[in-house]
Structure 1
């Protein structure tokens, strides 16, 4: 049942999706073309009880299985990947598994857990692979009150996918991230790439945060949302940022991006009114 009690999934323009809004079956969150008319990227949060098993047909999309809490075993074709996972998204980087399109996969967890499935429609069928946690590039972006840690597990430069781009961000309590506001809703070769984006949030200790999206064109996306653990915000277009963490409560978000461009690249344009005082994006 959805938040409005109708049982129908929310319309595409309902860009803030509170926890449980798109829940169905084993998925606490299900965002993708079959649910929200979301054209490119996809995100599911799979919840498995101890001993739970989930079957997945990848279809026309490539997927990354990323543990949020707990570990799991991923089987695809003749390969088996044992993901150690982690206690929570705030504890550490996690290992992960890449699943190709047109495949049948099984995800099983002896102790149970929660697992993000980040996906994107793609053309090429790349090989299934294991992503070790020690090989995930981690960087600090910004400084002072805009500092945050970015885990580039499937960034455009960090891991080979056909269309999917995905990273994790940890914002310390009281800080702003996704700042200065930026956009990637136009195809401008060498300057900006067209990418739809999903933000999935978890807040340490049951706190809250805020997410802002504002129009870059007439009639564009416009969101100011109080976000809590399990919430998602869709960014079909527009300037997005800041993401604001409540003091005393670190904020986690998982970004999933994909677009129609010929190249898989992350090129962004910063809002001109904010860049001079941003404290450094990278």
Structure 2
């Protein structure tokens, strides 16, 4: 792999400070990434996310360092060449076009991501300890969950949920919320370890809105001085959730809202345990 056919960027150094917990599209761009969120920038220990944009015929080398990564097509197809295999990702036209296949790349590795037609690819990552083998995740094997009902209904793609795909620390899912509906509801949290009840997980939301619409994201404090966000979100925006009650996520009528959730934390067990806000559980369907 020659230098002129790839652009290698290890864990970013010298990246600009993030503007806050709400990151409007372009405000956290760095190098080849339309979005780059490192643990150092976020002020936490594990969760990270990059959105890679490739021109037709473009390629990029990912040095995984101390983190495991999932390459998830947002739009377009790509080939992921890792030390443990070559994975042809069929991808999709866009996030509203159905479930995508994906590739897992372990820590302490190098992987080339190449796309003949170009596209946008989410790199969801988490600092980890174990080095698992590189693997392919077929789209038909992604568990698709219908969650909630009525104006609380949404579709969840559990491609890297704790019980669906083996990672060391990384947990990642996609959510599609129909226009006019609420998701991430009731508001819930996972910012402290309570055995059997709640996990400690850092979380990133990455948004795309169908048809250039808008959505709204709320994060409310679970402790004095905790995270407090009420943001109008558009395609390419992200919201960091270091702690606090997160939700609802609200979709504008007529515009489906997509978000990618990336989570990881310090717990010995990889698990997603949440507590609902006690003031918002009545009437939940």
TM-score normalised to structure 2 length: 0.94
Q: Alignment partner of 1:88: what SS?
A: coil
Structure 1 residue aligned with 2:18: 10
Q: How does 1:88-107 map to 2 (within 5 A)?
A: 88-107=94-113
Q: Is the 8 A contact 2:191 2:202 kept in 1?
A: yes
Structure 2 residue aligned with 1:4: none
The CA distance in 1 between the partners of 2:60 and 2:44, in whole Å, is 23
Q: Is the 8 A contact 1:9 1:21 kept in 2?
A: no
Q: How does 1:270-281 map to 2 (within 5 A)?
A: 270-279=276-285
Structure 2 residue aligned with 1:225: 231
Q: How does 1:156-171 map to 2 (within 5 A)?
A: 156-171=162-177
Structure 1 residue aligned with 2:88: 82
The CA distance in 2 between the partners of 1:38 and 1:22, in whole Å, is 16
The alpha carbon displacement at 1:8 in A equals 3.2
Pick from 187, 190, 194 the counterpart of residue 188 of structure 1: 194
Pick from 3, 27, 32 the counterpart of residue 33 of structure 2: 27
Q: Alignment partner of 1:55: what SS?
A: strand
The alpha carbon displacement at 1:36 in A equals 3.5
1:67-117 deviation digits (Å, cap 9, x = unpaired): 000000000114100000000000010000000000011000000000000
Stretches of structure 1 that go unaligned for 5 or more consecutive residues are 1-6
1:163-214 deviation digits (Å, cap 9, x = unpaired): 0000000000000000000000010000000001000000000000000000
Structure 1 residue aligned with 2:144: 138
Stretches of structure 2 that go unaligned for 5 or more consecutive residues are 1-14
Structure 2 residue aligned with 1:52: 58
Structure 1 residue aligned with 2:203: 197
The CA distance in 1 between the partners of 2:273 and 2:98, in whole Å, is 27
The alpha carbon displacement at 1:44 in A equals 0.3
The CA distance in 2 between the partners of 1:190 and 1:78, in whole Å, is 36
Q: Is the 8 A contact 1:31 1:38 kept in 2?
A: no
Q: Is the 8 A contact 2:84 2:134 kept in 1?
A: no
The CA distance in 1 between the partners of 2:43 and 2:77, in whole Å, is 31
Structure 1 residue aligned with 2:73: 67
The alpha carbon displacement at 1:34 in A equals 4.3
Aligned residue pair count: 271
The CA distance in 2 between the partners of 1:97 and 1:196, in whole Å, is 22
Q: Alignment partner of 1:159: what SS?
A: coil
Q: Is the 8 A contact 1:32 1:39 kept in 2?
A: no
Q: Is the 8 A contact 1:74 1:82 kept in 2?
A: yes
RMSD of aligned residue pairs (Cα, Å)? 1.0
* Residue 259 in structure 1 maps to residue 276 in structure 2: no
The CA distance in 1 between the partners of 2:16 and 2:47, in whole Å, is 21
* Residue 147 in structure 1 maps to residue 137 in structure 2: no
